[in-house]
């Protein structure tokens, strides 16, 4: 991130009369906007017909940015190939598993593996790099737009062919391939490389699960390759301008994608949580607030990060996604949510609501009518003033707890209903527990580069359901524990290898060994069973979704025993010392209640209680010495400041009872780093 980049907006010169441009830029500057993103959907203007390039419209626009002092992030336009391209070269189109091509009319209808698309993308990106690469106002580039959005699956002929090469590179021999893919089940052995394809239609839609896992890895590698191809083109053409991309989408390993980029941007739309197709059954405590979970994922991938698209109005398409207009204060609240979680650049989407196209209800800051004084613009002015009260680099997000994730398990859970069911409950339960306990929590992506040292800043590391558990990761965790760390596993840990196979080995793999347990029996909790419950320290604890029934070795501490169903009395939660640290095994998923109970037992919760007492409605986040308090509630929240501190936004010292209005925010400067 750059220090002169704090507030931005997305703008589409091509949607508006040229006569509006300068006025728009001047108004942006008035509101404190220093950077805009442009160009990411303009291929059909840059290259109106094949091989004919015309940058004149954007040249004229860039001249005005120079005049008005507006910095520009230029998008490469590969997310929306023009119709001359897709009609002439239909091999560039993505397809369904049954081969139906996705045609022109929306966006992201191309595939990454077609040679023709790579060739034409190379050319347009090269020409843009050459043309705009040294423009004084172009400070950075966004690669493509929301890679893997709309669909993260690809089944064109080019993808089948590229997948074959990917598999050949990885497995080398058919014998090896057949072994790893379980070819002896259902007569699925390959005898020629030509037979290897991505998923195609099958009876009732199911498929070899090991191949589906490779399919996801391949989709990810294809996207990474396509992004890196553009980075490699641009880097020599753009001087010291940065490279980024936006969004978090499926089937994409961002820890690898990041390697070619300078930093990551996220597109944050907390009102997805309020889309009208929802039931009204969500917990009101976590409507827009659950976006903090997504922001924590972004932070795990890149800290600090930027927000390329911060929600600027109601969102919706003509054919779906109706949501209410953000309430007064929410745009500002959501902006601070992004900052609190690690964003140093906030760019709103978009300046003015689209006048046509599928996204006429994806509202910008200004309405269709360009009326200058609307409620959202007033809020922007306030946000702009606030941001200048904050330091440019507020410091690192502080957390004592990390929840581990990795892509192998994320993708396995997306393919495997048994895995998915525990994963979904725990992902939500752990996040909500940490929020309600005001215990800031990080995510950490486990891959081959993670070291025990990286874990040491955490007092507790939780890996909820590492179904695929490689020994090398257990080694890292053991090293961390040996020097005093605590690691907690949940049910369904360690019974699959990296191919999604279940080897002949006691379940729990290395984790069970360290915890000194045997997983004697296990079961889903069906709709006709008693709820999963255990007794811990004399009180009841929920053991939801799935129960591993444990057998504890000597030296293993039984922390809780099941109190329902046929395995009543059997160990449910255990712990065991591991060097100077401790390992925990919890035989179920983590509901909110389960997680709160366990975190409290381990001494977590309210780490800043010496300074602040907060109600459940408020989130707490700390960056460096700045303490962010965000009120997502629809009522004013009362908080208590125990020690006099600077209220950074109100610019005064405060102590004692404070009222935070609905959707309002406080930033306190902690006297010293908390915890």
- Residue 72 vs 85, nearer CB to its own copies: 85
Instruction: State in angstroms the smallest separation of the CB of 522 from its own copies.
Output: 7
Please check whether residue 626 is in contact with residue 668, taking contact to mean a CB–CB distance below 8 angstroms: yes
The token pair that represents 436 in the structure block: 């309600």
Residue closer to its own copies, measured from CB, 86 or 486: 86
Least distance in angstroms from the C-beta of 104 to its own copies: 7
Q: How far is the CB of 409 from its own copies (least distance, A)?
A: 14
SS3 52: strand
Is the CB of 509 or the CB of 604 nearer to its own copies? 509
How far, in Å, CA of 62 to CA of 499, rounded? Answer: 50
CB of 188 or CB of 673, closer to its own copies = 188
Determine contact, residues 640/612, Cβ cutoff 8 Å. yes
State the Cα–Cα distance between residues 504 and 92, nearest whole angstrom: 44
C-beta separation of 233 from 122 below 8 A: yes
Q: Please identify, using beta-carbon distances, which residue of 190 and 225 lies nearer to its own copies.
A: 190
Alpha helices by DSSP H, listed for 133-156, are none
The three-state (H, E, C) secondary structure of 564-617, written as one string: CCCCCCCEEEEEEEECCEEEEEECCCCCHHHHHHHHHHCCCCCCCCCCEECCCC
Q: How far is the CB of 199 from its own copies (least distance, A)?
A: 6
Between 126 and 358, name the residue whose CB sits nearer to its own copies: 358
DSSP classification of residue 366? B
Can you read off the two tokens belonging to residue 52? 């004919």
Q: How near is the Cβ of 323 to its own copies at its closest, in Å? A: 7
458: exposed, middle or buried (Cβ count in 10 Å: 0-12, 13-18, 19+): buried
Min separation Cβ 434 and its own copies, Å: 23
**Residue number with CB closer to its own copies (120 or 599):** 120
> Whose Cβ is closer to its own copies: residue 475's or residue 529's?
529
> Residue 14 Cβ, how far from its own copies at the closest point, in Å?
4
The rounded Cα 595 to chain-centroid distance in angstroms is 22
Residue 48: both structure tokens together: 């109106």
Distance of closest approach, residue 634 Cβ to its own copies, in angstroms: 8
Nearer to its own copies, 49 or 653 (CB): 49
> Shortest approach of its own copies to residue 624 CB, angstroms?
34
Residue 109 Cβ vs its own copies, minimum distance, rounded to whole Å: 5
Which residue is listed with tokens 């010392």? 577
- Between CA 64 and CA 352 the distance in angstroms is 18
DSSP string, 490-555: -TT-S-B-TTS---SS-TTHHHHHHHTEEEEEEEE--TTSPPPEEEETTEEEE--SEEEEEEEPTT
- For residues 206 and 652, which CB has a smaller minimum distance to its own copies in the complex? 206
Residue nearer to its own copies on the CB measure, 79 or 460 = 79
Nearest distance from residue 26's CB to its own copies, in Å?
A: 18
Sheet holding 539-542, edge to edge: 441-445, 401-405, 460-463, 486-489, 581-586, 571-578, 557-562, 533-536, 539-542
597, containing H or E segment: helix 592-601
Does an H or E element contain 69, and which? none
- The 8-class DSSP code of residue 360 comes to T
CB 111 within 8 A of CB 117: yes
- Alpha-carbon gap, residue 323 to 335, rounded angstroms: 18
Cα 159 to Cα 199: distance, rounded to the nearest angstrom: 11
């Amino acid at each position: 991130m750059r220090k002169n980049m704090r507030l931005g907006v997305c703008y589409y010169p091509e949607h508006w009369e040229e006569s509006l441009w300068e006025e728009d830029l001047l108004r942006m500057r008035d509101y404190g906007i220093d950077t805009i993103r442009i160009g990411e959907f303009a291929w059909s203007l840059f290259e109106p017909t094949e091989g004919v390039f015309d940058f004149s419209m954007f040249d004229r626009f860039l001249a005005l940015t120079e005049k008005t002092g507006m910095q520009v992030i230029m998008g490469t336009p590969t997310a929306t190939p023009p119709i001359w391209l897709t009609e002439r070269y239909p091999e560039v189109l993505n397809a369904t598993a049954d081969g139906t091509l996705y045609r022109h009319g929306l966006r992201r209808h191309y595939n990454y593996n077609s040679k023709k698309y790579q060739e034409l993308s190379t050319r347009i990106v090269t020409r843009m790099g050459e043309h705009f690469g040294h423009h004084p106002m172009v400070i950075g580039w966004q690669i493509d737009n929301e890679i893997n959005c709309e669909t993260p699956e690809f089944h064109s002929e080019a993808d089948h062919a590229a997948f074959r090469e990917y598999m050949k590179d990885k497995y080398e021999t058919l014998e090896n391939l057949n072994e790893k893919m379980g070819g002896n089940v259902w007569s699925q052995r390959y005898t020629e490389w030509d037979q290897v394809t991505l998923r195609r239609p099958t009876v009732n839609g199911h498929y070899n699960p090991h191949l589906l896992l490779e399919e996801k890895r391949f989709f990810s590698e294809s996207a990474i390759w396509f992004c890196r191809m553009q980075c490699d083109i641009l880097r020599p053409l753009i001087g010291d301008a940065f490279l980024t991309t936006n969004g978090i989408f499926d089937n994409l390993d961002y820890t690898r994608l990041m390697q070619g980029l300078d930093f990551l941007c996220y597109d944050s739309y907390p009102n997805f949580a309020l889309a009208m197709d929802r039931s009204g059954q969500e917990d009101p405590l976590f409507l827009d607030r659950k976006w903090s979970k997504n922001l924590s994922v972004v932070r795990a991938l890149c800290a600090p990060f930027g927000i390329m698209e911060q929600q600027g109005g109601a969102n919706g398409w003509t054919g779906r996604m109706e949501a209410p207009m953000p309430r007064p204060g929410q745009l500002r609240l959501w902006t601070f949510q992004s900052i609190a979680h690690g964003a140093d650049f906030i760019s709103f989407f978009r300046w003015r609501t689209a006048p046509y196209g599928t996204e006429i209800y994806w509202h910008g800051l200004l309405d269709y009518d360009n009326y200058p004084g609307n409620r959202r613009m007033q809020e922007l002015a306030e946000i702009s003033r606030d941001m200048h009260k904050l330091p440019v680099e507020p410091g690192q997000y502080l957390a004592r707890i990390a929840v581990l994730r990795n892509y192998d398990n994320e993708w396995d859970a997306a393919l495997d209903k048994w895995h998915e069911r525990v994963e979904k409950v725990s992902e939500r339960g752990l996040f909500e527990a940490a929020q309600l306990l005001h215990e800031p929590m990080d995510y950490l992506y486990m891959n081959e580069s993670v070291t025990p040292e990286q874990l040491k800043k955490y007092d507790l590391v939780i890996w909820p359901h590492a179904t695929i558990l490689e020994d090398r990761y257990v080694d890292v965790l053991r090293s961390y524990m040996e020097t005093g760390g605590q690691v907690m596993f949940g049910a369904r840990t360690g019974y699959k290898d990296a191919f999604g196979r279940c080897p002949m080995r006691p379940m729990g793999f290395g984790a069970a060994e360290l915890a000194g347990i045997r997983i004697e029996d296990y079961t889903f909790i069906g709709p006709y069973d008693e709820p999963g419950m255990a007794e811990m320290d004399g009180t009841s604890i929920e053991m939801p979704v799935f129960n591993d029934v444990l057998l504890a070795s000597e030296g293993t501490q039984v922390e809780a025993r099941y109190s329902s169903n046929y395995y009543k009395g059997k160990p449910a939660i255990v712990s065991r010392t591991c060097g100077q640290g401790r390992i925990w095994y919890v035989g179920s998923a983590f509901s909110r209640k389960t997680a709160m109970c366990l975190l409290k037992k381990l001494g977590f919760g309210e780490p800043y209680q010496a300074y602040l007492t907060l109600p459940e409605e408020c989130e707490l986040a700390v960056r460096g010495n700045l303490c962010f308090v965000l009120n997502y509630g629809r009522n004013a929240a009362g908080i208590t400041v125990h020690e006099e501190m600077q209220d950074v936004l109100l610019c005064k010292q405060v102590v004692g009872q404070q009222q935070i209005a609905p959707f309002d925010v406080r930033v306190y400067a902690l006297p010293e780093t908390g915890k």
